[in-house]
Amino acid sequence: MPRTGAFVPEDVTVTASGLVVVSDLIHGAVHALQYTSREPQGRWMTVGTYLSPRGLAVDALGHLLVTDYLPGIVQSFVLGPTLESLDPVSMLGLEGPCWVGPGPDGGFAVSEEFGDVQLFGSAHQPLGSLGTLTGHSFGRPAGVCSDAEGSIIVADEQRHQVIVFPRVGPPICLQLEGLERPLGMACTPQGQLVVADAGDNCIKVYQYLREMA
């Protein structure tokens, strides 16, 4: 565990090199688990401090993305050889950013609590929100991810739904059996959707492409 003592992980992601990165809301930090020849069990290192770190993701270019809830910021940076933060860029002006996930064409998407889902391009430029672009109204957007076809998938915690936003066409609400309170999400290369359901404390796997047929 980190030198700060026990912590409650808020989110977790894994870099291309296999580094496990965890957000620590209680201590306002982001930690990475580093393995060395002297410490084969691994050692937690703090790679950044924030007011209220929440969501984590790695974009298509290998940049680590961190949402900082209270100041309304998403920070993008690269971890150096000694886990130092390189080339940090901050996206400002969000309202309660919680979850972040990779989007199509090297960009990423950020869900705002009780708000919308903001889209950013590969150069960190704002592209607008899913609500504005599609006319969809969210209850409480949570986890976001994208699939191999470039669709953006968003969990709506309040409405117990998962919505697919294809590149072309209107949003599609998936009818997923047993879904109670969807939070974090990820897509597998096989077209499966993995959902962390806080309603019954389960990880659920769906073959969601069948639901869209």
Indicate if the pLDDT at residue 8 is higher than 60: yes
Give the chain's domains with CATH numbers: 94-211 (2.120.10.30)
Kindly state the average pLDDT of the residues 162-182.
93
Q: How far is CA 154 from CA 75, 95, 176, in A?
A: 21, 17, 13
| Closest alpha carbon to 108 in 155, 142, 61, 42 | 61
In eight-state DSSP terms, residue 51 is: S
Kindly state the average pLDDT of the residues 120-149.
95
Kindly state the average pLDDT of the residues 195-201.
93
When pLDDT is cut at 50, 70 and 90, the band that residue 210 belongs to is low
Q: How far is CA 135 from CA 132, 165, 170, 171, in A?
A: 5, 11, 9, 9
At 1 the pLDDT is: 41
**Angle subtended at Cα 65 by Cα 158 and Cα 110, rounded to the nearest 5 degrees:** 30
Residue pLDDT, tens place only, 56-96? 999 988 999 999 999 999 999 999 888 888 999 999 999 99
Alpha helix (H) residue ranges in the chain: 130-134, 208-211
At 2 the pLDDT is: 43
Cβ(97)–Cβ(126) under 8 Å?
A: no
The radius of gyration of the chain from alpha carbons, rounded to an integer in Å, stands at: 17
At 139 the pLDDT is: 95
CA–CA gap between residue 62 and residue 79 (Å, rounded): 9
When pLDDT is cut at 50, 70 and 90, the band that residue 104 belongs to is confident
| Closest alpha carbon to 115 in 127, 101, 98 | 98
pTM of the model as a whole: 0.89
Q: Using the structure block, give the residue that is written with the tokens 């389960």.
A: 202
Provide the mean pLDDT of the chain. 90
100 versus 84: the higher-pLDDT residue is 100
